[in-house]
Structure 1
Amino acid sequence: MTESISKVAERAGQFFRGKSPIHQAMLRLTKALGELKIPFAIAGAMASNAHGHRRTTADINILIRAEELEKFKTHYIGRGWINKFEGSKNFRDAVCAVDIDALLVGGYPGDGLPKPVSFPEPEQVSEVKEDGIPFVSLKTLLELKLASGMTAPHRPRDLDDVIQLVRANSLPKDFADKLEPYVAEKFCEMWQAAQISDEH
């Protein structure tokens, strides 16, 4: 038991120093997609980290067009990357042993059903943060996580991420005015929750 706890701590330490397999996989992916001139942006937990909410994760989410994902796969599957399974849109960095989940432009977060928030074009919402890696903007990240948490009850982590992002960025309540109206009320609810301290 002690050994596994220490290994978990070691992995977390690597992660927060930016030296984990996930960070290496992001760099490899950025280089590979860059060589093919394919626009993309990192979303999900790694984008949360880029925007100040520090937490570990086991995979990478990328925002990408379906046809450009196919272009990447045609070029790179079998050359350091493998499909998760036949026909899957998701794939795996076989060198770093990291799963990569594709969020296809035009698709919908959460339950996957049509809603006012969809996965946008990466060029419209990306902000280059570090090492040349493009991450989705904070506004976009909040909209996607709110829409996901609102429609997928099995994903409460998304709403907790919103609370932590509010805290990490000291966001005012009226940040809701910048968001897609569909998620604005839920943002205000999460903002209120973020004001409650765990200290007693």
Structure 2
Amino acid sequence: MTESISKVAERAGQFFMGQSPIHQAMLRLTKTLGEMQIPFAIAGAMAANAHGHRRTTADIDILIRGEDLEKFKQQYIGRGWVNKFEGSKNFRDAVCGVDIDALIVGGYPGDGLPKPVSFPEPERVSEVKEDGIPFVSLKTLLELKLASGMTASHRMQDMADVMNLIRANGLPKDFAENLEPYVAEKFGEMWQAAQISDEH
């Protein structure tokens, strides 16, 4: 059964006030991984929110080392956290009812094939934002989203996010010079697109 408009609006309201199950799950994750001294950083849509592009999402992306993910799972699967399915790297916060997708350090965004942009070590690229939750830096987020959208045609949301992050942060065209050259040209294209207003 589809949700009523008022229910969707209520959930969105909770989300933008930082009171949604997603926010609760991020806090639980930060506390648990912090206690285990496991470095991680939030990427994806929640990082886009942290960098000024406000949009709702249904899950959380985290940047983490493969061995650290295993360590966490050995200790916590079945204790408030469950595997998405047997053998999956992704898992679920069973308390908050939120899916968590693991981006493994050294892996590649988009089509998963080797490219100059890979998932970096979280402690190198994280910026602690609100409530002690570490988010990837804006530069890293843009590189990952551009590389993903460039190599996986079904991931058009990544390009939309790049465009909206450019707008939300008032980024200049020469911000491309800070980025991995592999994605710099595509950033330029997205920058041009971001200058076009929907108002006629």
TM-score, length basis structure 2: 0.99
Residues of 2 paired with 1:175 and 1:56: CA distance? 26
Q: Secondary structure at the match of 2:68?
A: helix
Q: Secondary structure at the match of 2:4?
A: helix
1:3: how far off? 6.4
* 2:78 is the alignment partner of 1:78: yes
Residues of 2 paired with 1:91 and 1:110: CA distance? 20
1:89: how far off? 0.1
Q: Would you say how many aligned residue pairs link Structure 1 and Structure 2?
A: 200
Residues of 1 paired with 2:2 and 2:102: CA distance? 36
1:83: how far off? 0.1
Residues of 2 paired with 1:67 and 1:130: CA distance? 27
* Structure 1 stretches of 4+ moved >2 Å: none
Aligned twin of 2:93 = 93
Residues of 2 paired with 1:169 and 1:151: CA distance? 25
**Residue type of the alignment partner of 1:80:** G
**Residue type of the alignment partner of 2:116:** P
Aligned twin of 2:29 = 29
Aligned twin of 1:186 = 186
Aligned twin of 1:60 = 60
After TM superposition, list the pairs within 5 Å mapping 1:145-184 onto structure 2.
145-184=145-184
Residues of 1 paired with 2:3 and 2:38: CA distance? 42
1:2: how far off? 10
| Percent identical residues | 87
After TM superposition, list the pairs within 5 Å mapping 1:134-145 onto structure 2.
134-145=134-145
* 2:10 is the alignment partner of 1:5: no
**Residue type of the alignment partner of 1:122:** P
**Residue type of the alignment partner of 1:189:** E
After TM superposition, list the pairs within 5 Å mapping 1:116-127 onto structure 2.
116-127=116-127
Gaps of 5+ in 2: none
Aligned twin of 1:43 = 43
> Alpha-carbon deviations, 1:37-84, whole Å to 9, x = none?
000000000000000000000000000000000000011100000000
In structure 2, the CA distance between the partners of 1:154 and 1:126, relative to structure 1 (3 Å rule), is same
Gaps of 5+ in 1: none
After TM superposition, list the pairs within 5 Å mapping 1:96-135 onto structure 2.
96-135=96-135
**Residue type of the alignment partner of 1:152:** A
> Alpha-carbon deviations, 1:122-160, whole Å to 9, x = none?
010000001000000000000000000000000000000
Q: Secondary structure at the match of 2:61?
A: strand
Residues of 1 paired with 2:136 and 2:129: CA distance? 10
In structure 2, the CA distance between the partners of 1:186 and 1:26, relative to structure 1 (3 Å rule), is same
In structure 2, the CA distance between the partners of 1:3 and 1:42, relative to structure 1 (3 Å rule), is closer
